[in-house]
Amino acid sequence: MSFLELVTNRYSVRKYDCRPVPAEVLARILEAARLAPSACNTQPWRFFVVTNAAARAALFPHERQAWISAAPVVLVACSYPAHAWKRAYDGKNHADVDLAIAMEHLVLAATEAGLGTCWICAFDPAVFRQVLTLPPDMEPVAATPLGYSLDTPRPKHRKPLAEIVTYLP
Ligand SMILES: Cc1cc2nc3c(=O)[nH]c(=O)nc-3n(C[C@H](O)[C@H](O)[C@H](O)COP(=O)(O)O)c2cc1C
């Protein structure tokens, strides 16, 4: 599969089979996150692998998000903002940028392995903090269910290139 085919094939999977994810496949996906670049190579992240059914459900207590904890694995990407690079000019902290890159590495590695994912940021950080026993300096940034898809790919609706790209003369 070419890279463009891979990113075209990826879609947000919102229905999962309960079939477990083999440990070696999970390890390969996490390795893709580990290899992600980060500003000044600070790697200000930690990834939580949640397979315990009660813990998965505790992360997403509302019925409308039960499809997330139905996946055999929930991955949670957390940052250490205090360890991340800050731009000298304006102090902008790049922890979220770093986390997003690592998370998308993970998502695309999962796609290549035939697994479904869905970026999730609509969660209660206080609940995540409590369930994962996060230290105060760690921030939950994003999560994804991980598992075999029972969903159907939908057509991608994206703005045309002409609307999102500016070529400077
Ligand atoms: C930062 C981010 C946060 C997202 N949060 C959620 C979420 O909380 N719940 C959800 O169902 N989808 C979430 N999504 C998925 C988007 O809705 C989805 O990527 C977008 O509609 C495009 O569809 P596609 O992923 O199938 O191409 C999120 C995506 C991103 C990139």
pLDDT at position 53: 98
Q: Is the pTM of this model over 0.95?
A: yes
pLDDT digits (tens, 9 = 90+) for 71-124: 999 999 999 999 999 999 999 999 999 999 999 999 999 999 999 999 999 999
Q: Is 159 in the pocket of ligand 1 (CB under 6 A)?
A: no
Q: For residue 8, what pLDDT is reported?
A: 97
Decide: 141 and 79 in contact? Cβ < 8 Å: yes
Overall size of the chain counted in residues: 169
Q: What tens digit of pLDDT does each residue of 14-34 get? A: 999 999 999 999 999 999 999
Which whole number is the average pLDDT over 140-155?
Answer: 97
Contacts of 27 (CB under 8 A, 6+ apart): none
Q: Is the CB of 78 under 6 A from ligand 1?
A: no
The DSSP secondary-structure symbol of 19 reads P
13 CA from centroid of ligand 1 (Å): 10
Q: What number does the ligand 1 atom closest to the CA of 122 have? A: 8
CATH 3.40.50.1010 fits 3-151, yes or no: no
Q: Where are the domains of the chain?
A: 3-151
The DSSP call for residue 136 is T
The proportion of the chain whose per-residue pLDDT surpasses 90, expressed as a percent, equals 99
Average pLDDT, the chain: 98
Q: What is the pLDDT of residue 18?
A: 95
